[in-house]
Structure 1
Amino acid sequence: MKVPIWASALAGTLLVQTVCSFASISVPLLGPPLMARAGLAPESIGLVSAISSAGICWFLACGGAMLNHHGPIRTLQMGMACMALGVLVLSQPLGLLGLLGALAIGFGNGPNTPAGSQILIRSAPPAHRTLIFSIKQAGVPLGGALAGLIVAPFVLAHGLSATLAMIIAVLLVCCVVVEGFRKTLNGEKGPGEPRWARALIEPAAMMRCVSALRAHPSLPMLTAVGTSFSLMQACLTAFTATFVYAHHGASLAEAGQVVALMQGASMFGRIILGWLADRMGNALRHLGLQAIISAVAVSLMAMVGGHDPWLMYGSAALVGFTAIGWNGVHIAELARVAPLPLVSSVTSASSLFGFVGSVCGPLFFMMLVSWGGGYEVAFHVMAAQLACFGLVCLFAKRR
């Protein structure tokens, strides 16, 4: 029986999304031993997360020519190879030079959203488009959950260096596996652009990317609420494990279990909320309501986490379902309203602003903690900004 093209596209993009998420989320999970090796405070992992997000921004701003030249599958393969190189550099005792590894990890993770959207928008049945995009985006929390369950025990059993080597091997194996999808999806390749490498350092490429957001009047509001969600998600990804480990005295394995539960709940959240958005038919209002509920969930986790382990697990699951379960609905709506030739450009441009938030969020969070506000205050501040954007999004008049 012939496999439908949308099923093949979903399988390939989901696999890559899961593996890249596993690799990128493993880094903050390894934050305490990585920062201890570097002689830095535990909250300094926020700097690594911020630089990694800057690498994603770099690709989203300037990587369109690379995507057009090589096609989505080959670009995803090149991205995973770049992530493997970044993990290798980050694992070496190179001091500040090692932060270039975080930049490479982010750049390699960058193609997932625009390349995945370019593949799926042409193959997903319109009636189930949001659900299919949400299933693909469920690879992010699935990879995170696997990281939370696997990384800490692997560190305890084999050490930090062996764990980093395992992450590199997973990335390289996936590069080989997805080669089988390249023939099926080769029709998605755009026109050749021999100057794609030069475009990576051209400011004009960034301006062309951002200008794509003029293609539809809903795109600025969608971008704004997506940026707010991205800021919140970046802080949760970067600091939840350290919050549980350093602030509440849990073990590294227990911190990994909390992160795994959060990411697992997010996986189900993305799928269920994607199905719900298809039924409601108003994604912008859906995202506004979800932002408000997410803000309440994050504040609840910050308040009750230290009182009882079960409250921590319960609130972490709620946070995962809501605050990290937004991405599939958002990307599907971006792809829906964008003109078909501009789907990857619009997705890249909107995601660029989101990852700028991912750069700024952990840095601001780290400053709040360092200045004596503590983790609770920092989480409340991040939740407040998300609630404000949710209210604006919920009551905004669509033109």
Structure 2
Amino acid sequence: MKSAVKLDLESVIDSRRVSRFQIVIMALCALVAMMDGFDTQSIAFVAPEIVTAWRIAPSTFGPVFGSGLLGGLIGAILFGGAGDRFGRKPTLLLAVLLFSIGSLITPFAASIPSLIAVRFITGLGLGGALPSFISLTSEYAPKRARSTLVGLMFCGFPLGAVIGGFASAKLIPSFGWASVFVAGGTLPMLVMPFFMAFVPESVRFLGLKRDHAAISNVLRRMDCAGVWNGEFPKPAHQTRAPIASLFKEGRAVGTVLLWITLFLSLLMTYFLVNWIPVVARQSGLGIESAVRAVSMLNLGAFAGCMVLGWLADRFGTARVIGCAFTLGAVAIGLIGHAGGVLVLLYTSTFVAGFLSIGAQMCTVALCANFYDTFLRATGLGWSMGISRIGAIAGPVLGGMLLGAGVAPPTLFIVAGVISLGAAITVFMIGHYVLRARASLADLPSKGISNDELHRPVGY
């Protein structure tokens, strides 16, 4: 006989096993993340070929890298706010459509200024998609496994870059650099109908909108319609300026430290992704070897995200991620000493990706836990936006250093120092935020309410 006990909406999701329907939602979000990763890094895969074909200096490509990332910064902030206002699903679909169109028109660019323009448009969609697919996954995941599931979903981003790298290594010699963008724009168009058909709006977002019929339909697809008590979550303390809420109710320290960490880690990531192929070509390696070096970096990030996330659950988030950033700095420094030795280049890029970029991805996954549902897409959007400032600075910094005649070993030592900076801020998060969160664990015994206990003062 079924239990007559009814649960509130949050408890329905948090207390039950993850259903097949939820897995499908997260898998499709991971597929979008893969396409985002492919298109975000596609410009790095083809940059050496465009530099050769157009007979331009490698350092002049810095603004091209930066324009796409600037678009990503603006897109993340705009689409993040729109996701909290209009819903995760429609804003995600619009973002995917935008970066798909941007990718398809990229081959028509015939100069650096036109390439800068189309990469900016593509970047708007690429950055705009991130807050929505992270929020969707987070809000269909039970709290006990949210960080793990978001991390697994976000592994689609470097996996897409890995697949894109190996595919580009085959496409470019056979069909030219334009074929990479045709593939990157066509695949999202093919996936969008499946996403529209099988992925509903976030059930937690629907709870804030008090849409009883839509929630009942989603819970029925999750095989738990009879468990919900029909009550909606209590209205959150929203303000007319959502950005101000990121710094209220104990969020300020965590928000600032998250922004600094993501800024530094994305600066390091895009520094490596965009300049490893160029430096590899200057060392005498072919285009396939140069692209595969970036693929090894992303393959390491994919593995690192899963392993570091598992270790963080057992040995402490700040301790594991901070140590990974620290050790990753050593591996990054070794990249500059690889020269034309493929084994050393592939090994050092894989380890650097596993440690430093894997740590960066774990930080992104944890960011989803930091904000309430009413603020999650905005919080993620601003975090991704701030991180994109670092992503813009990374390629530009690399171009400036190359233009100044800095040797590859010094170039990658600089990137290693940036990884150390990210380690410091993560350790600060552990000291100033996680310790405060741990102290709240004892509050229920002191009469503190459940709502107050879960107020996001840290993670």
Map of 1:120 onto structure 2: 137
**What code does the residue aligned with 1:77 have?**
L
Kept in 2, the 8 Å contact 1:81–1:172? The answer is yes
- Residues 210 and 256 of structure 1, relative CA distance in 2, 3 Å threshold: farther
1:316 correspondence with 2:320: no
Query: Once structures 1 and 2 are overlaid, which stretch shifts more, 329-338 or 221-230?
Result: 329-338
1:360 equivalenced with 2:393 (yes/no): yes
Q: Could you tell which deviates more after superposition, 83-92 or 107-116?
A: 83-92
CA contact (8 A) 1:46 1:239 kept: no
Hey, what does 2:297 align to over in structure 1?
262
Displaced runs of 4+ in structure 1, greater than 6 A? none
Q: Distance in 1 between matches of 2:312 and 2:198?
A: 29
Identity %: 19
Query: Once the two structures are superposed, what CA deviation does each residue of 1:295-323 show, in whole Å capped at 9, x if it has no partner?
Result: 111011112x1162211111111011112
Taking structure 1 as reference, are residues 287 and 220 closer, same or farther at Cα in structure 2, changes over 3 Å only? farther
Partner of 1:197: none
* Conserved 8 A contact 2:329-2:416: yes
Counterpart-to-counterpart distance in 2, 1:142 and 1:389: 23
Q: CA deviation at 1:355?
A: 0.7
Matches within 5 A, 1:11-160: 11-95=27-111, 96-160=113-177
Larger Rg: 2
Show the counterpart of 1:198.
none
Q: Is the 8 A contact 2:136 2:202 kept in 1?
A: yes
Counterpart of 1:182, as a letter, is: V
**Rounded Cα–Cα distance in structure 1 between residues aligned with 2:403 and 2:341:** 25
Q: Secondary structure at the match of 1:132?
A: helix
Q: Return the letter of the residue paired with 2:246.
A: A
Structure 1 residue 8 and structure 2 residue 24: aligned? yes
Query: What is aligned with 1:201?
Result: none
TM-score (norm. length: structure 1): 0.88
Alignment partner of 2:269 out of 233, 236, 246: 233
AA aligned opposite 1:107: L
Q: 1:210 to 1:106 in 2, by over 3 A?
A: farther
Q: Which amino acid aligns with 2:396?
A: L
Instruction: Pick closer, same or farther for the CA change 1:213–1:7 going to 2, 3 Å.
Output: farther
Q: CA deviation at 1:53?
A: 0.8
Query: Do the aligned partners of residues 59 and 27 (structure 1) sit closer, same or farther apart at CA in structure 2, a change above 3 Å counting?
Result: same
In 2, distance between residues paired with 1:373 and 1:167? 33
Query: Against the structure 1 CA distance between its residues 153 and 265, is the aligned structure 2 distance closer, same or farther, given a 3 Å change threshold?
Result: same
Any unmatched runs of 5+ in structure 1? 192-206
In the alignment, residue 161 of structure 1 is paired with which amino acid? A
CA distance in 2, matches of 1:271, 1:332: 11
8 Å contact kept, 2:204–2:373: no
Residue in 2 that maps onto 1:348: 381
One-letter code of the match for 2:305?
R
Q: CA deviation at 1:8?
A: 2.4
What does 1:195-344 correspond to in 2, within 5 Å?
208-209=242-243, 212-214=246-248, 215-216=250-251, 217-245=253-281, 247-280=282-315, 282-303=316-337, 305-306=338-339, 308-344=341-377
Structure 2: gaps of 5 or more residues? 1-17, 210-240, 437-459
CA 159–97 in structure 1, closer or farther in 2 if over 3 Å, else same: closer
Which region of structure 1 is more displaced relative to structure 2, 156-165 or 12-21?
156-165
The match for 2:216 is: none
Using structure 2 for the length normalisation, give the TM-score: 0.77
| Separation (CA, whole Å) in 1 of partners of 2:339 and 2:244 | 42
What amino acid sits opposite 2:296 in the alignment?
L
Q: Distance in 1 between matches of 2:164 and 2:398?
A: 23
Whole-Å separation in 2 of the counterparts to 1:357 and 1:169: 29
**1:196 is matched with which residue?**
none
Q: Which moved more, 1:294-303 or 1:63-72?
A: 63-72
Query: What residue in structure 1 maps to residue 215 of structure 2?
Result: none
The answer (yes or no) to whether the contact 2:285–2:340 under 8 Å persists in 1 is: no
Q: What is the distance in 1 between the residues matched to 2:86 and 2:42?
A: 28
Q: Distance in 1 between matches of 2:245 and 2:64?
A: 29
Question: 1:231-255 CA distances to partner (integer Å, 9 max, x unpaired)?
Answer: 100111111111212x211111111
Q: Return 249-258 or 339-348, whichever deviates more.
A: 339-348
Determine helix, strand or coil for the equivalent of 2:358: coil
